[in-house]
Amino acid sequence: MSPIHCSHLIFDFDGTLIDSAPSILACFARVLEEAGLAPQVPLEEGLIGPPLAQTMRTLSGIDDERAIAGMIEAFKTRYDSEGYRATLAYAGVAEVLAELKDAGFGLLLATNKRIRPTMLILEHLGWASLFDSVWALDRFEPKLHDKATMLGAILRHLAIEPARAAYIGDKAEDGWATDANAMPFVAARWGYGEFPDAPAHWLHVHRPHQLAASFIRSRPEPW
């Protein structure tokens, strides 16, 4: 595979670096049970990734904003207090992140996950020092609505040229958000998503250890 020449690597979180599905789905199941509701779609990995309100509407089958807000708060309380601790890192990810950082790349995180559990999980896994900065939709004021807007805001805020920053994610939606910002995209094929009709310019990797080979192995040029 050809290396991507860039100085900054921006990572998705759920399904790319971590397997959070068991902990998240368990919390969803408990919240629905407490609300006296049955899930309207199967509780499976494909639910992980979109904003929480969107997923809760899909799962509950209701559109009552007050009820949705109550279930969201119940989920946050459960997940932020103990649920996040069941999060697992994909095998080899920690080593790859350390290798890329040692090689001189600037590592960033950009996720639809809320910033609070994101930071809790990074601390729990001992990864907080690996990333130069961590971004989430709710880190911005007002809260952003989609990943494409977030990636653009990150590039502007850090004054990074789009061609110098690749995004690594596990869903086609990540690729489209990356394309919207004229950035290189790497599809993490071990994650939760599928990539039907993927454009030819997307790079696909099937194991975390292949990420290092996707980028220049020597220290990048100064930023």
SS (H, E, C) 38-57: CCCCCCCHHHCCCCHHHHHH
Q: The tokens of 207 are what? A: 């194991």
The Cβ-side half-sphere exposure at 29, using a 13 Å CA radius, reads: 10
Confidence of residue 78 (pLDDT cuts 50, 70, 90): very high
Mean pLDDT, range 148-175, rounded to an integer: 97
pLDDT, averaged across the chain: 92
Class of domain 21-85: mainly alpha
The answer to whether the bond into 51 is cis (omega within 30° of 0) is no
Confidence of residue 111 (pLDDT cuts 50, 70, 90): very high
> Alpha-carbon dihedral of residues 20, 117, 158, 214, nearest 10 degrees?
-20
CB 13 within 8 A of CB 118: yes
Confidence of residue 212 (pLDDT cuts 50, 70, 90): confident
Higher-confidence residue of 221 and 98: namely: 98
- DSSP classification of residue 145: S
Class of domain 8-19+88-213: alpha beta
Confidence of residue 2 (pLDDT cuts 50, 70, 90): low
- DSSP classification of residue 223: -
pLDDT for residue 217: 54
Confidence of residue 218 (pLDDT cuts 50, 70, 90): very low
Confidence of residue 221 (pLDDT cuts 50, 70, 90): low
